[in-house]
Structure 1
């Protein structure tokens, strides 16, 4: 499995991805799922991938080496894309190209052509954008109302994002919330695991302000996990018990319908 999350707040972009791949309980490995294309002062692009590893790697190779535009006969890459929208379209074309080459065979053997990509960044002259690109090559874009997107095993990390992040959240707090979301997912699904790759890019900077890998045992992440667990325990203790669940000690079965 995989868990990747991208957040766009007023100050910029946060992207986080785990590195665990799982092809069975006896075939677990580490592969980078977060990839950065950076031309300081011109463009910053970040891709996070989930799904079939061979498909993801093929798509990444296509967008880096280039795909010929049948209308203009020009080979297009992420480095030559004039806008983030055009770059997202290029990734979609790469996915469809891989499906044309390998899709039928994959479906015959494993039953599924599976890939999803978070794609965020900014090209000089345009605004910062974040897309989620599906296995059909189509995509959606993040909005101010819902300033984050997830791929992979997303259900465990979603509640904290829904409650704690909005477009005006400080970018460093967005990173912290994203890491809490990752920790929640890791605790509930062994298919998601460390190391964790993170990228933070501010609007109009056209470079990565933070590009870091969190290794197992890193003090900050360990402290974050412990503090979050303690905060949850303290929160539930501080909340009054439901009045309808308080039974008379002399009548322990009252209110129980069996």
Structure 2
């Protein structure tokens, strides 16, 4: 049984100008995420991948279709129901600094959702120590402010905050795109380690096929609001079937100049054939 089921999802945004018609950005997308699974959602800017994640979180209204979590529909859920679901569905955003309150210590940032959900101050402090250890931060990090950390460390704080209520699903919205390559690799490894330890599922949004290859079990590819390819991560990220996915793969740079030149030529051929 799936943990998350998205069926024929449609999202429209208001058009520009007076009497402008709404613009549909998702055209009936269907996908699922199993318990403990990572589904990589990949596509270029404007493809609608982030909109899917925000629709799951209830941050954008839907114009059609259904989103079900653990069998219950999220469409039209009341604010009270959404607050209850916050324990099970969490998010890690792209920018680890703007997503953290700069005036709060890390300890307070991590304890806040626990206290809101009824934990005692003592239990919250204990959970904070466990979370900091889980994401590889020192115990004294709880007394420091977000600005005192590097970008990678701040993203570890954001991951710890998402883990605080022990969720079953985390929506990861481009969580490593603002980090340098070496830090990206360490944070991705952290995501994998946490999933193995906790069994949490990820809906992992990214524009980079190499990133989703590292972390995903399955990959879904979006192009202009349509799902064009889905399948096992190894296949989709190394030998994709759809021309758009092939272009995404060939657009990724490689360090070898000869291979890069060959990729450019292959990409040109794919573009001419599509």
- TM-score normalised to the size of structure 1? 0.31
Of structures 1 and 2, the larger Rg is shown by 1
